[in-house]
A and B are shown apart, each in its own frame.
Chain A
Amino acid sequence: MSDLKIKVRDLRKSFGPKKVLNGIDLDVPRGESLVVIGGSGTGKSVLIKCILGLMEPDSGSIEIDGQEVVGMKASEREEIMRKFGMLFQGSALFDSLPVWENVAFGLIAGRGMGRKAAKDVALRKLAAVGLGPEVGELFPAELSGGMQKRVSLARAIAAEPEIIFFDEPTTGLDPIMAQVINELIVKCVKSLGATALSITHDMHSLRAIADKAAMIYEGRIIWEGDARDIDRTGNAHVEQFVQGRSEGPIRMPVRPL
């Protein structure tokens, strides 16, 4: 079996005249955590949605475990989906369901598990992210942002997926809670032995959770390598982004004050 869990080649996606993905090549090795960094509007979310199958690319290839998924039939796609877990940027919890049912949702609705057994699993997963059983009976609107992220993480790992996607996992959290989430992500991914693909513009998050890193700019991967090398890439775009400088090759489309 190939050592690549996810293999992306020449992936392209446009919205009208705007080319959002302009020939992406990306490899995610089995059991490793790859973090893709990039500014807002550079195509990070579109990339992850194409890999997840939530969006159809215009052209290119995406292989999961060596199996081509672009243009796959819906029924086959649902099978592939079972390998995935996803933590959404805004948590995307179902606000009409209590927390435990959110966590158990994939087990009950997606895999036909009984409600009682699924609730037991959900409470165990909530405990794994540091939340007590009493939280299971609350509704998402009653939780803080950090707790919602933890519930979303518990939901992402509930079905013990092979690949977990993290979309801006620490956005909107205070630094301490962001670090708690980062540590939980590392713990959960390692304990499952899963492969992880994250997108973020939070450098603290990258340093905490990444084995490998890549940078996307203008719809292309302009650098990829070991996450420990992120501060010495020799790439002017990456250096500007990592150091958070306004001056450099990356120009923001804003008028000067």
Chain B
Amino acid sequence: MAGEMATRILQPIGRTFLAGLESAGRLALFTLQSVMHCLVPPIYPRLIVRQMIEIGFYSLPVVGMTAVFTGMVLVLQTYVAVSRLNAESTIPYVVVISLTRELGPVLAGLMLAGRVGAAMAAEIGTMRVTEQIDALRTLSTNPFKYLIAPRLIAAILMLPVLVAIADIIGVFGGYLVSVYRLDFSPAIYLKNTVDFVETIDIVSGLVKAAAFGFIVALMGTYSGFHSRGGAQGVGKATTDAVVSASILILAANFIITGLFFTR
């Protein structure tokens, strides 16, 4: 009796554990195959450029808007805190270090998970359920090379570019609020920003951006590639892509920050 009850409790736990292991293994294999196909020819430059435009150029407005408002809010919040200590001159430093090290790459990564990762999952998922991926195979074309590799390469290349632009726009947002709302001197604000920021701040942010680009494209393509069923399957793949990429971005941010800044 007790044995039966224990079995009834343990069975679903075991089943869930095994399913988790299977998913992790499938993702690991998919990652290995995807990376290998990024490195081994043939590579399709036209498709990479098309994806770079899709991921980079068309994401500029959303990333730019996110950055400018983040820079503005940072100044307002930091001002409240530092004015009590008469340390207003540190505001440019707080803004630039927060943006370059953390907020620029993380927010851009999260915005792209929503915009680009979801689109990748939906597009590839639809191709899966309408047999277009099978059609690629019958036309002697490897779907990893044609669908996955261009998206991964484009995302890894374009997210650092987007983050670099976001950093500049974010600092500009902070500048606007500091100068026109809090009456900072424009010249001193810009001088403090340039003087305080260090190469490691920018480099760490760009390395994070490349890693987040990889995560967004990987989870978008993985979820789409393994979608099943019809419209419902594609919808689930899209949700999975955004949620898993967002969580992995936050976890990877912690790990990369630890690697760069823990002494």
Residues of A within 8 A of B (CB): 49, 52-54, 78, 81-82, 84-86, 88-90, 92-96, 105-106, 109-112, 155, 159, 165
Contacts and interface: CB of A to CB of B under 8 A. Distances in A.
B134 A81 contact: no
Nearest to B127: A94
B93 interface: no
A19 to B, nearest CB: 20
Contacts of B131: 88-90, 92
B138 A81 contact: yes
A83 B206 CA distance: 46
Interface of B: 42, 44, 123, 127, 130-132, 134-135, 137-142, 146
A222 B114 CA distance: 52
B46 to A, nearest CB: 10
B137 A109 contact: no
A82 B134 contact: no
Nearest to B42: A112
Contacts of A155: 139
A109 B135 CA distance: 12
27 contacts: A52-B137, A54-B137, A81-B140, A84-B138, A86-B134, A86-B138, A88-B134, A88-B135, A89-B131, A90-B131, A92-B130, A92-B135, A93-B132, A93-B135, A94-B127, A94-B132, A94-B135, A105-B141, A106-B139, A106-B141, A109-B44, A109-B139, A109-B140, A109-B141, A111-B140, A159-B140, A165-B138
Contacts of B123: 96
B138 A78 contact: no
A36 B124 CA distance: 31
A110 B134 contact: no
B132 A78 contact: no
A49 B131 CA distance: 11
B15 to A, nearest CB: 13
